[in-house]
Structure formats: C-alpha cells, structure tokens
Chains A and B, each alone.
Chain A
C-alpha cells in the first residue's frame, strides 16, 4: 500500500504543495483564467504574461487545492516560463498522456528544454490513482484556457474522469 502512495506523494510534490512557487497575482499578467473542479470545490487562477512573440515571460497561479493540484500548478509555472505558447501546448499534451497512463514516457518534440518532461515525471504516480488525474491536470487545463483568452475554465467532472 505504502509504495504506490510514496510514489504519488513524493517529497518533491509535498514540497511544492506546501511551498508553491510562483504563487500570487503578478503585475503585468495579460492572460488569466479561472479553473474550478466542481467535484471537490478546488479553485485555481492561472496568470500568464505573454509577449508579442508568443513567449511566456511569466507564469503564476493562486488558489487552493490538494497537494497534487498545488504541486502540479507550481511545477507547471516553473516549466512554462520562457516557453512559447506552442511549446506549452505540446508539454500539456505530453503531460496529459503521462498522467492518464496512455504514454508512460512521453516524447515531446519541438520543445527547447530537454528535461522539462523529465521534471514533470514526478507527477506520473497519479496514473495509479485515476480519480486524482484531474487534480494534476486542472492547472494545465486552466493554463490552456488562459492562453486561448478564455476566462473561465469549468472542468466538467465527466469529461475529466474519462480523459
């Protein structure tokens, strides 16, 4: 029992969960979206500062949630800073496939950061806990909504549990 749980709740995750990085509402953010998980009531707001070239200059978030969703949001913001919106989308695709167990070691091409995916791998333990996948992906869904200029990102529980 404890192995899988230790795999899910790795120390890095607990650390990000307790001390999330890039937490707050930065000045100059020009994209934001609100993510909500109606199953547990958790809410996140993701802020992006995107320049004219489509590069994410700053990424941050605010909100409350479980250790998994906070850690995922925190690590996402770290990874995204400096990436283009296109790269962000590719990373999300890879991350998503990893969380659902569809692709244990996703190869994400066209992203100029070799170990970005590797750093996100610490969250892959979630694939043994299907009902928790949405916790890990909430921040990413919300980021996509922010990037697309949407302001609300209601995560439909049905959609999320089958993802």
Chain B
C-alpha cells in the first residue's frame, strides 16, 4: 500500500508501465463501453460494487444453459454437474484465501449476512452479559449493528477503538480496550469510507494474547490484495462476491473449522441436516450446517469465475496498479483548489473520500454525474466515521483494476466544473 506519493508509485498507475495491460482488462468489461449523458462512462464507485467481466457473465450463462439444476439432492446427470461446479467454486474460494480446508468456506448472501451469521450463532452461544466486543470507529454499519443487537439482547459491552485525524487506527488505544472480558474483536481490514488499511496482524495478535476471537471484515480487501487467512490467523474472515467482480447475492464466511463446528446452525431446513426424525435433528458439519435451503448456485459459480479472473490477472499486479492510481489521484485531486481529502492513513487502499470547501457532497455528485463520472456521495454506511470527521457526507472515488489515470483526470476536470458553478 502506498505510503507517500513518489514518482515511481505514480508511474505504476500509468497504463504503459504497469505489469497489467489496462486496455485489455477493460475489454473484458462490457459495461465500460456504456455512455452516461452522452459521455464515456467513468465508473469510480467500485467500493460500493464492482462491474463484472465477460468471464463471470459467461460462466453464469453457461451454467444456466448447459448444466443447471439443484445441488446435492439428485442422482441425475445435471444435479451431479451442478453440484460439482458449485463445490468447485467453494474450492476456488478456499484456495483464493488459502483456507486450511474447503469445509471452512460457508457461502452466504454477502458480507452483511456473514457477520450476522457469526453474531447470531457464535455470539448467542458463547457470549454472556458483561462480555466485551471491540470494534473500531470506522466500521461499516454491517459490522456495527449486529453487535449492537447482541448488546441489547445479551447485555454484552460494545467498545470502540478510536482513530486519529488521518484515519489511522490508534493501536495503543485499541490495546487498552482489551480486557479479560474481551471475547470478540470485529474489525475491518480496509475502511470503505476512508480507505485505511488497518494493522490487522497486530489487531489479531493482541486479541489472541487475551484469548479473544477475531472477525475481520474483508469486504474491501478481497478484491485488492493477496489474502492468506492462515497467515493472518483470524478466526473469521468475511467478504462479498459483488465487490470482487462477482455477482450479487453471494458472499463468504470463512471460519476456523473447529470453531464453525462448535457453532449452532443459523437458519434451519433442508440441506443442513444429517438426520431428521420428528423428535430430533442432527446437523451436518460446516459448511453445510450453515447453508439451509437451496443456495445461490449460479452466483457461487460466478464467484468462482471471479476468483479465477482475479488470480489470472494476479492480485499483486492488481494491487500495484491500484496503488499507482491512488497515488496519482491523491496528487491530482489534492491539486483541485479547496478540495480536502478525508482519510490520509499511512496505509491506504484505492479509495479517496473528499469534500470541496463548503460544497455539499450531493451537489458534487450530481454535477460530476452529468460529466459521466460515477462517484458515491453520502455517508457510505459508516455514519460514525462521518461524525468523527464532523461531516454528514463525503464524495468518494474508489478505483478498480480497470480504471485509468485518464479517468482520474476526468474526475478532476468534472470537479473544476463544480467549482465553476459554485463560484457564481
């Protein structure tokens, strides 16, 4: 992750010098040929959701057209093909994050459901009144509200690790919050609002020293960096398919196998049971214990294709490209008069949250939109961090593997229009 804007890093965002041929990558994404208000679409809302490459779309279409059927329950030909493809996708995900076993990969609807699953099962079973959960001040609402619900239900205590004015997590303060009653730390790997990459290894190590378990919200990290859950040594790692060039409706909960098998089921019904009599039911082991009902079969297959796509490009190449874009954007946008970047952490992913003088983020969003530039404006489902910076909303540009420096320029030029309009 880039620490400073050096010439070398800026060059890494240049299409011609990167190890990654951006123009070829762009050919994979049909939607990038769309126009918005008569101008070429500049899609810079990737932290909200990324676009899908042809490879993912084709894999899903192929599934529906040639071998689709329900999984795990038929002896017929198509059912076997579908089951194989579905389980092969799980295997791809397991290798993608270097899980110890494929059984550690639970398919969910997304990061939000993954966190809710842990709160509802692990939380309800292992936490009691007075136990403590630690989160940070820059969590997405998905990693705040489930814990607040648990607090209200069980009487556990929710503690919040502070951040500094640049959006760095204050590790010392975090350490002070840990106590013998800390049972769980739920922390983001990358902040979707600020781009901060948290010192997740230290966070995990310090929690484990006190015997607390750690859930990492990796929704923003999965498409941007090489992940190795064994090396990180977290207890749970969650992410969404749609932010990593896969379809919506599919996400992942990774958990250590022994912990998952200790957890009660989440939803109940078909697919997750071993034996049902009218008196008693025994449940399957993870992951199927947590996958009641017909899963998002084709979405899982699409996610598998997205994993192949990311692996094919190389996460290190993607990372280098996005780092270069971040450095370039930080410099280019930073030069727009009156523009203030919120979130200048030492380690950052390719997310730039900003405001311009006293112009509201919504006005910025509307004006740049008419120039074909899609950015997110609002509180980014992270109101506590907005409040920390004393703003209701920011504009946010977030960059993906298919973005270019020319698109950063397009944003900067659109921002000049904002100033021009508001200077009257």
Task: Check A39/B366 contact, CB under 8 A, given A5-B421, A9-B422, A64-B392.
Answer: no
**Chain A residues with CB under 8 A of B386:** 41
Given known A-B contacts A6-B421, A64-B392, A41 and B362 have beta carbons under 8 A apart: no
Given known pairs A5-B367, A8-B366, A40-B378, the reply for A66 and B424 (CB within 8 Å) is: no
In the complex, which residue of chain B has the Cβ closest to the Cβ of A1? Answer: B370
Q: Which residue of A lies closest to B386 (CB)?
A: A41
Contact assessment for A41 and B363 in the assembled complex, using a CB-CB cutoff below 8 Å: no
B26-59 contact mask (Cβ, 8 Å, vs A): 1 or 0:
0000000000011100000000000000000000
A-facing mask of B360-380, CB < 8 A → 1, else 0? 111100110011000001110
Does B214 have its Cβ within 8 Å of any Cβ on chain A? no
Chain A window 1-14, contacts with chain B (Cβ cutoff 8 Å), 1 for yes, 0 for no: 11011101101001
- Chain A binding surface SS class: helix
B408 to chain A, nearest CB (A): 19
| A42 contacts partner chain B, Cβ-Cβ < 8 Å | yes
Q: Roughly how many angstroms separate A46 CA and B109 CA in the complex, as a whole number?
A: 41
Q: Is the CB of A14 within 8 A of B422?
A: yes
Task: Look across to chain B and name the residue whose beta carbon is closest to the beta carbon of A4.
Answer: B370
Known interface pairs A41-B386, A41-B393; A9-B378 also in contact (CB < 8 Å):
no
Query: In this assembly, does A65 line the interface, its C-beta being within 8 Å of a C-beta of chain B?
Result: yes
Which residues in B have their C-beta under 8 angstroms from that of A14? 421-422, 424
Number of interface residues, chain A, beta carbon within 8 A: 24
Tell me whether A67 and B360 are in contact (CB under 8 A). Answer: yes
List, in ascending order, chain B residues with CB within 8 A of A40's CB: 361-362, 377-379, 392-393
Within the complex, the shortest CB–CB distance from A107 to chain B, in Å, comes to 29
Chain A residues lying within 8 Å of B405, measured Cβ to Cβ, are none
Given A1-B37, A9-B363, A66-B363, CB of A41 within 8 Å of CB of B378: yes
Contacts of A4 in B (CB 8 A): 370
Docked complex Cα distance between A119 and B367 (Å) = 24
Min CB gap A135→B, angstroms: 7
Of the candidates B359, B370, B379, the one whose C-beta lies within 8 Å of that of A67 is B359
| Binary B-proximity of A130-159 (CB < 8 A = 1, otherwise 0) | 011001000000000000000000000000
Which of B360, B370, B378, B393 is in CB contact (< 8 Å) with A5?
B370
A80 within 8 A of B: no
- How far apart sit A131 and B386, CA to CA, in the bound complex (Å)? 22
Nearest chain-A residue to B392 (Cβ)? A41
Interface centre among B38, B361, B370, B422 (most CB of A within 10 A): B370
- Indicate if B383 sits at the interface (CB-CB under 8 A): yes
Decide yes or no whether A68 CB sits under 8 A from chain B.
yes
Residues of B near A135 (CB, < 8 A) are 362
B285 interfacial by beta-carbon distance below 8 Å: no
Q: Is the CB of B379 within 8 A of A68?
A: no
- Answer whether residue B417 sits at the interface, using C-beta atoms and an 8 A cutoff: yes
Contact code string A53-66 (vs B, CB < 8 Å = 1, else 0): 00000000000111
Contact in complex: B421, A9 (CB < 8 Å): yes
Query: How distant is the Cα of A132 from the Cα of B365 in the complex, in angstroms?
Result: 10
Q: Which residues in window 57-106 of A have CB below 8 A to B?
A: 64-68
How far, in whole Å, are A29 and B379 apart by their CA atoms in the complex?
32
| Smallest Cβ-Cβ distance to A43: which chain B residue | B392
Set of chain A residues within 8 Å of B361, measured between Cβ atoms = 40, 66
Pair B362/A66 contact, Cβ less than 8 Å: yes
Q: Are B424 and A11 touching (Cβ within 8 A)?
A: yes
Report if A41-B370 is in contact (Cβ < 8 Å); known contacts: A14-B422, A66-B360, A132-B362. Answer: no
Q: Which residues of A contact B424 (CB under 8 A)?
A: 9, 11, 14
A18 contacts across to B, CB distance below 8 A: 358
How many angstroms from the CA of A64 to the CA of B39 in the assembled complex?
32
Within 8 A of A (CB), among B377-424: 377-379, 383, 386, 392-393, 417, 421-422, 424
Known: A11-B424, A40-B393. A68 touches B378 (CB 8 A): no
Q: Is the CB of B392 within 8 A of A42?
A: yes
Q: Are B379 and A41 in contact (CB under 8 A)?
A: yes
Given the complex of chains A and B, what is the CA–CA distance between A9 and B378 in angstroms? 19
Residue from the set A41, A43, A64 with the largest chain B CB neighbour count within 10 Å:
A41
Q: Mark B268-288, 1 if CB is under 8 A from A, else 0.
A: 000000000000000000000
Within 8 A of B (CB), among A106-131: 129, 131
Question: Judging by beta carbons under 8 Å apart, are B360 and A2 in contact?
Answer: no
**Top 7 A-B pairs ranked by shortest CB distance?**
A66-B360, A41-B392, A66-B362, A1-B370, A41-B379, A67-B363, A66-B363
16 additional A-B pairs beyond A9-B367, A66-B361, beta carbons within 8 Å, are: A1-B371, A8-B366, A9-B422, A14-B422, A18-B358, A39-B378, A40-B361, A40-B362, A40-B379, A40-B392, A41-B378, A42-B362, A65-B392, A67-B360, A129-B366, A132-B366
Q: CB within 8 Å of B: which residues of A?
A: 1-2, 4-6, 8-9, 11, 14, 18, 39-43, 64-68, 129, 131-132, 135
Query: 14 A-B Cβ contacts within 8 A?
Result: A1-B39, A2-B421, A4-B370, A6-B421, A9-B367, A9-B424, A40-B362, A40-B392, A41-B392, A43-B392, A66-B362, A67-B360, A129-B366, A132-B366
